[in-house]
Amino acid sequence: MAMNLAGKKILLGVSGGIAAYKSCELLRLLQKKGAEVRVCMTEAATQFVAPLTFASLSKCPVYLKNGAVEARPFQHIDFPRWADLYLVVPATANVIGKFVYGIADDPVSLCFMSCTGPRFIAPAMNVAMFNSPAVKRNLETLRSFENTFVMDSPAGELACGEVGKGRLLDPAEIVAYLETRDERLVTREGECLPLASAACASSATPSNGGHPRNAPESQAAQYLQETALQDLPASGERVRRVLITAGRTEEAIDPVRYISNRSSGKTAVAIAATFLANGFDVSVVAGPMEAEFPGAVHVTKIKSACDMHKAVLEQMKNADVLVHCAAVADYRPKVAATEKIKDSRSQLILELEPNPNILRDSVAQKRAGQVIIGFALETDHFKEHAAEKLKKSGADALLLNAPVAANSGFGFDEVRYTLIRANSRNAQESGDSRNAVEVEIPEMKMGSKIDLAQEIVDFSLDQLKNA
């Protein structure tokens, strides 16, 4: 009986390979199948994909080696015990060696050691490493472990540019692989059945066009098309695109000093990850920031507001949705010194001039059907100021956030916010006069930046549907 992923609790282990970014798409596909996913990561994996990305997608804290101080001390037992199955994608040569020799010194290997349910491993590495005697031996040993299934690592073009075995299976292929396993591997209580069931699953050939392990390529392709890819855009259907501004801008005073703010970029990362999880192609124009984007996000790095203004107006024509999340400096020094200003301890006067208004200028170039969402950070008279900004900008909506509550706002995972929508019907009746547009002003609420991101994505999808 083929496995139904709906309702399954899946622990996803991510180790430090370049293919780690594909785990973001895999998580999204598993969720679309109805599975609940939690994530654990090696320290090396966090260098490829930021933990916040997986936390945003899974809506659950990520188990890390050096996680939050309030994390439970038995995560290496709790996470596998919660899961119906453990899926390691990608599995590097290093972590495979740890699995084989019983080394448990990071979350991924610790969870492997304490997992009593089915474990599925998807190797990914350079062809030279994959063909090395050590890796070949380790993979063979791993296949002999009880309730452990090692997926194929097909030949293809690798990240380094070489061609050969070692490529990670595509996320849709991994989903298809799981769906062809025997449902009897996992009971409803999440307890693993005896090895006899596992052996049966590895040799069984599913009916109704199933995908046995050694099925012909055409049959496998047919199965993927009918099952694992059913929630993806149909062939020829255009993928929706979103352009997001992120981080802060730096306005030069001299070669070593600048005017800026405290934006960490966490909100933009949560928004990018959530759009990614909803099937969008995601591009970002990012100023300096601490948070990191998923590997699948296209990032254009800039420094100043003028640089961001130019990049946004150049790229917006390809976007279905624009989200102006960056904390852009309103002013810049009228003249930036070419040499470091010497410390004379005398009074220094800086003459400032306004930066271009990126939100308003993008609205001026807005095409039919395009959705534009702005951001407003206010510290007093929140709703009045935000409503006025929305009217003047002509955007479809404005995300108002107020970083005045304790432990919220810049650098934190929670924020006080509300999404203010323009009333398009009233706009049409008034001849689309911006200042005459009425706005809907919901009450502000405290929530996570993930919740904030999901509200923006939901609004965007609704607007695109009705465009």
Residue 441 burial (CB count, 10 A): 18
pLDDT score of 275 more than 60: yes
Active-site positions read: 160
Please report the sign of the dihedral spanned by the C-alpha atoms of residue 466, residue 232, residue 85, residue 156: negative
Q: Please identify which residue in the block is written with the tokens 């300096």.
A: 288
In one-letter notation, the amino acid at residue 246 is A
Average pLDDT of the segment spanning 250-264: 91
- Look at residue 362 in the predicted model and tell me its pLDDT: 97
pLDDT score of 197 more than 60: no
Average pLDDT of the segment spanning 101-108: 92
- Look at residue 412 in the predicted model and tell me its pLDDT: 55
pLDDT tens track for 133-153: 999 999 999 999 999 999 988
- Look at residue 279 in the predicted model and tell me its pLDDT: 78
Looking at per-residue pLDDT, the higher value among 16 and 225 belongs to 16
pLDDT tens track for 380-405: 777 788 888 898 999 999 999 876 55
Residue 295's pLDDT band, with cuts at 50, 70 and 90, is: low
Q: Please identify which residue in the block is written with the tokens 């392709």.
A: 221
Residue 177's pLDDT band, with cuts at 50, 70 and 90, is: confident
Percent of the chain with pLDDT strictly greater than 70: 79
Residue 410's pLDDT band, with cuts at 50, 70 and 90, is: low
Residue 278's pLDDT band, with cuts at 50, 70 and 90, is: confident
- Look at residue 216 in the predicted model and tell me its pLDDT: 30
pLDDT tens track for 4-44: 899 999 999 999 988 898 899 899 999 999 999 999 999 99
Looking at per-residue pLDDT, the higher value among 310 and 161 belongs to 310
pLDDT tens track for 153-169: 877 766 666 777 888 88
Q: Which residues contact 268 (CB under 8 A, 6 or more apart)?
A: 244, 245, 246, 247, 284, 286, 289, 291, 293, 325, 326
Q: What is the 3-state secondary structure (H, E, C) of the chain?
A: CECCCCCCEEEEEECCCHHHHHHHHHHHHHHHCCCEEEEEECCCHHHCCCHHHHHHHHCCCCECCCCCCCCCCCHHHHHHHHCCEEEEEEECHHHHHHHHHCCCCCHHHHHHHHCCCCEEEEECCCHHHHCCHHHHHHHHHHHCCCCEEECCCCEEECCCCCEEECCCCCHHHHHHHHHCCEHHHECCCCCECCHHHHHHHHHCCCCCCCCCCCCCHHHHHHHHHHCCCCCCCCCCCCCCEEEEEECECCEECCCCCEECCCCCCHHHHHHHHHHHHCCCEEEEEECCCCCCCCCCCEEEECCCHHHHHHHHHHHHHHCCEEEECCECCCEEECCCCCCCCCCCCCCCCCCEEECCCHHHHHHHCCCCCCEEEEEEECCCCHHHHHHHHHHHHCCCEEEEECCCCCCCCCCCCEEEEEEEEECHHHHHHCCCCHHHCCEECCCCEEEEHHHHHHHHHHHHHHHHHHC
Q: Please identify which residue in the block is written with the tokens 């002003």.
A: 441
- Look at residue 409 in the predicted model and tell me its pLDDT: 46
- Look at residue 34 in the predicted model and tell me its pLDDT: 93
Q: Which of 116-130, 189-203, 386-400 has the lowest average pLDDT?
A: 189-203
Hey, what domains does the chain have and what are their CATH numbers? 9-226 (3.40.50.1950), 241-337+348-466 (3.40.50.10300)
- Look at residue 437 in the predicted model and tell me its pLDDT: 60
Q: Which of 48-52, 351-355, 375-379, 415-419 has the lowest average pLDDT?
A: 375-379
